[in-house]
């Protein structure tokens, strides 16, 4: 009986630890925009994470436009300005700079499904 009680208690402690474990904190990933490129050009994040694009060019403007219009767009970003977006669903999201896409200013965000 003592042995069975020890097993049950140990099992309950393990379940309690799992249920009480806090969710992983959301991460923020920064992407620079300078000299006609996104740096880094591709990032991998998790659902709920945030990406911040920062215009690091001293002059000029950039704009983050996603190929999937349902994701949104940044609007014009002058030097020093930034745009942040929190990804709420998994998938691959490609984007470009509206003003420099013909010069190859493109990027991709890969959003991984939450682990269960």
Q: Is-above-0.85 flag for pTM?
A: no
Q: Where are the domains of the chain?
A: 25-112
The length of the chain is: 116
pLDDT at res. 116: 59
Name the CATH code of domain 25-112 (choices 3.40.50.170, 2.60.40.790, 2.60.40.420, 1.10.10.10).
2.60.40.420
Give the chain's mean pLDDT. Answer: 85
List of residues 6+ apart from 87 with CB closer than 8 A: 45, 47, 48, 49, 50, 51, 93, 109, 111
2-46 pLDDT, tens digit each: 554 454 445 444 434 444 545 678 899 999 999 999 999 999 999
Confidence band for 59, pLDDT divided at 50, 70 and 90: confident
Is residue 73 over pLDDT 60?
yes
List of residues 6+ apart from 25 with CB closer than 8 A: none
> Any bridge partners for residue 95, and if so which?
66, 107
């Amino acid at each position: 009986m003592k042995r069975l009680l020890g097993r049950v208690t140990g099992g309950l402690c393990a379940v309690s630890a799992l249920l009480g474990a806090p969710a992983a904190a959301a991460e923020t990933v920064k992407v620079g925009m300078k000299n006609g490129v996104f740096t880094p050009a591709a990032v991998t994040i998790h659902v709920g994470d945030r990406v911040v694009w920062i215009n690091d060019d001293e002059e000029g403007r950039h704009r983050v436009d996603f190929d999937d219009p349902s994701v949104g767009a940044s609007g014009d970003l002058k030097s020093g300005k930034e745009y942040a977006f929190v990804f709420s669903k998994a998938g691959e999201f490609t984007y470009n700079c509206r003003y420099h896409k013909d010069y190859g200013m493109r990027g991709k965000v890969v959003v991984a499904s939450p682990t269960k």
